[in-house]
Amino acid sequence: MTKKRSAPDYSHLCQFQFADGRKCRMLRQEDHATLCVFHARAERQLLQSETLGPLLSKSPSGEFLTAADVNHVLGKLFAAIAEDRLPLRNAATLAFVGQLLLQSVSLVQDEIINARSTDSWRQLVRNVLNSSNPSRFSTDPPRIP
């Protein structure tokens, strides 16, 4: 009597398939139905990128003219990096672009002051600060409970 060979059970392995047809051989992540830790993270980042892009590209004024605008967006980028919501390569690129934007703020300020007036620049910054989080930039002394 011969024993019947059964097909091996690969349900405990990652089901990700590479472009050349090979399959990932890592163990499946416990809380994911089909993928290992690495591929599950990549899948999560891809799914979150659809909502993260609009979130990161929105500044208080809708522009990137003031340091407050750029700082607001860089703060959201920092949180996204800390939460592992985007690939480090993309995060590094966005941080570099943020640095370039911050370096150009003084040139934008000069242009606005020369074309209009110092008061125009101050009003622009005031509007950005009021629209981002009014209580955070209040000139009133903080209340102590």
Q: Are residues 19 and 82 in the same domain?
A: no
- pLDDT, tens digit, 9 for 90 and up, residues 42-101: 888 888 877 888 888 888 888 888 888 899 999 999 999 998 888 889 889 999 999 999
Distance of alpha carbon 58 from alpha carbon 29, whole angstroms? 34
Distance of alpha carbon 140 from alpha carbon 80, whole angstroms? 31
The predicted pLDDT at position 61 comes to 82
Q: Against a cut of 0.85, is the pTM above it?
A: no
Q: Are residues 92 and 32 in the same domain?
A: no
Q: Are residues 75 and 39 in the same domain?
A: no
The answer to whether residue 122 is domain-embedded is: yes
Domain of residue 32 covers 12-50
